[in-house]
Amino acid sequence: KIKKIIAREILDSRGFPTVETEVHLNSGFIGIASVPSGSSTGTYESLELRDDDKLRFLGKGVLKSVDIINKKISRILINEDSLNQNYIDNLMIKLDGTKNKSKLGGG
Task: Inform me whether the pLDDT recorded for 35 exceeds 90.
Answer: no
Cα angle at 39 between 33 and 40, to 5 degrees?
110
Counting every residue written for the chain, the total comes to: 107
Confidence of residue 106 (pLDDT cuts 50, 70, 90): low
CA distance 69 to 86: 18
pLDDT tens-digit profile of 43-77? 666 678 889 999 999 999 999 999 999 999 999 99
Give CA separation, 75 vs 16, 57, 61, 78, in Å. Answer: 28, 29, 23, 6
Query: What are the domain boundaries of the chain?
Result: 2-36+49-96
**Does residue 107 carry a pLDDT above 60?**
no
Prediction pTM value? 0.86
- Given a contact cutoff of 8 angstroms between Cβ atoms, the answer to whether 13 and 35 are in contact is no
pLDDT at 79: 98
pLDDT exceeds 70 at position 39: no
The CATH number assigned to the domain with range 2-36+49-96 reads 3.30.390.10
